[in-house]
């Protein structure tokens, strides 16, 4: 069921839904998700793909994402978390992702880093979750700081708040204890998030 999202007039903050396709589901199911997203453009901000990228490639879901792109709906894809840079290349080149969920495994691929930087493809990094899933070994080893320093559009997010028992405030509080994290990086991450949002520029 799709419910009415909050409006700025009601609460002072606008919201938009991301409808998520799942890698293990069929292409037809993903196409149905995309069609539903387009029927509800007034409250749906974009299309997403999630799931285990080590077991399921993005290619089978291309038709759903092509449909979204043809209607001007932006897309994000979870990649570079369980799998390496190849899953991020696939997200960008096959599904046309403007944002990458996590993307922490991009650091070994110079060409990929250059692509992300040049095209301003945002990385939705979730420090607590990234450690919990083993995508990064520990919080001090999280790539958010070096990637921000290198000019990549890193953002800080929470992933599944209930599973990780976190909030965005807790994510930033944890980062503030790391050597190298500065208030400038925090402001930059928030600026990157605003620029990468799927809301109209006027908002």
Give the E-state strand segments of the chain in sequence order.
17-22, 44-50, 75-79, 99-102, 122-125, 154-156
Q: Are 64 and 30 in contact (CB under 8 A)?
A: yes
Residues 29/19, Cβ–Cβ less than 8 Å:
no
Q: Which of 9, 29, 35, 81 is catalytic?
A: 81
Helix, strand, or coil here: 47? strand
Decide if 171 is catalytic: no
Asked whether 50 and 75 are in contact (CB, 8 A), the reply is no
Of the candidates 74, 76, 78, the one whose C-alpha atom is nearest the C-alpha of residue 41 is 74
Q: Report the alpha-carbon distance of residue 73 to residue 80 in Å, rounded.
A: 22
**Catalytic residue positions, numbered:** 81
């Amino acid at each position: 069921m799709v419910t009415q999202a909050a409006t700025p007039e009601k609460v002072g903050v606008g919201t938009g839904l991301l409808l998520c396709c799942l890698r293990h589901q069929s292409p037809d199911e993903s196409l149905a998700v995309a069609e539903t997203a387009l029927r509800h453009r007034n409250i749906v901000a974009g299309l997403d793909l999630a799931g285990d990228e080590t077991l399921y490639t993005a290619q089978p879901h291309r038709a759903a994402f092509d449909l979204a792109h043809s209607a001007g709906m932006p897309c994000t894809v979870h990649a570079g978390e369980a799998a390496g840079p190849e899953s991020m290349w696939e997200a960008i080149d096959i599904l046309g992702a403007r944002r990458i969920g996590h993307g922490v495994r991009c650091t070994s691929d110079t060409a990929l880093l250059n692509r992300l930087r040049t095209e301003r493809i945002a990385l939705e990094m979730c420090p607590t979750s990234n450690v919990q899933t083993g995508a990064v070994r520990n919080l001090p080893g999280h790539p958010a700081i070096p990637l921000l320093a290198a000019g990549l559009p890193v953002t800080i997010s929470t992933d599944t708040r209930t599973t990780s028992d976190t909030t965005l405030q807790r994510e930033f509080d944890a980062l503030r204890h790391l050597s190298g994290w500065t208030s400038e990086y925090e402001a930059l991450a928030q600026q990157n998030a605003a620029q990468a949002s799927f809301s109209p520029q006027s908002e």
